[in-house]
Chain A
C-alpha cells in the first residue's frame, strides 16, 4: 500500500520557538494532504487541507498565522508551528489523498513544548 512518512517522529522545543514537521508521500503523488491534531485520549481533529501549489484551507478555529502550511511539491507538505506554547503540545498527523476514495496517514509527530 501507499506509504506516508513524517519527520521528525517526535520533537521537544522551548516555548516561543518554531518547529517544522514534514509529511512526505513516498511512492505516490498527492495533490492534497491533510493535517490533523490529536490530544491525549481524544479523536483526531482536522486542522487544514493542503493543496499543492495553492494556499491551505484551514478549519474553523485554527489559526493560520500560527500553523503555517506549505505544499510545495506533489510529495511534500510541511506544517510549521510558530511561537509554540505548551498548549500546542500534541500529536500531529498528516495524511495524503491517494485516490478519490483513499487517504493514507503518516505515523504522526509527537510535539512537546516546554
Chain B
C-alpha cells in the first residue's frame, strides 16, 4: 500500500506557482521522498527526490518538513503542459519498488 496521502485534485493558474502537498507521517529514517508525474496516456516522468534537505532542480523544488512527515512539491511557474497527475512516493534506499498511490491531478488553467 502507498505510504502517502495527497489531495485528489488541485487547480493552478498558468504562470503561478503550483504547490502540491504530500503527507507521509509514517516515513522512516532511511526512506526517500520521490515525486513523479504522469501526463495523460504516457509513462510517468521523474521530477525530483529528497531525503531530508530541500532539493531543487530545473523542474521543481522539494520542501521537506523538519520532522519529515510531509513535503511540498513546488512548480515555480506552472504552464499548461504541467497539467498531469503528480505522485508522491516514499521509498527506502534499499528497496527498488515504487508503490504508486492515487496522486494529485493538477490542472493548470489559462
Contacts and interface: CB of A to CB of B under 8 A. Distances in A.
Interface of A: 1, 4, 6, 32, 34, 36, 43-46, 49, 91, 93, 95, 97, 100-108, 110
Given A93-B44, A108-B43, A103 B93 contact: no
9 contacts: A34-B96, A44-B38, A44-B100, A46-B100, A95-B44, A105-B43, A105-B44, A108-B42, A108-B43
- Top 5 A-B pairs, shortest CB-CB distance: A105-B43, A44-B100, A43-B100, A105-B44, A108-B43
Interface of B: 32, 36, 38, 41-46, 49, 87, 93, 96-103
Contact of A93 (B32, B43, B49): B43
B52 to A, nearest CB: 14
A49 B97 contact: yes
B101 to A, nearest CB: 6
Contacts of B102: 43
A77 to B, nearest CB: 14
* Most-contacted residue by chain A among B38, B87, B93 (CB, 10 A): B38
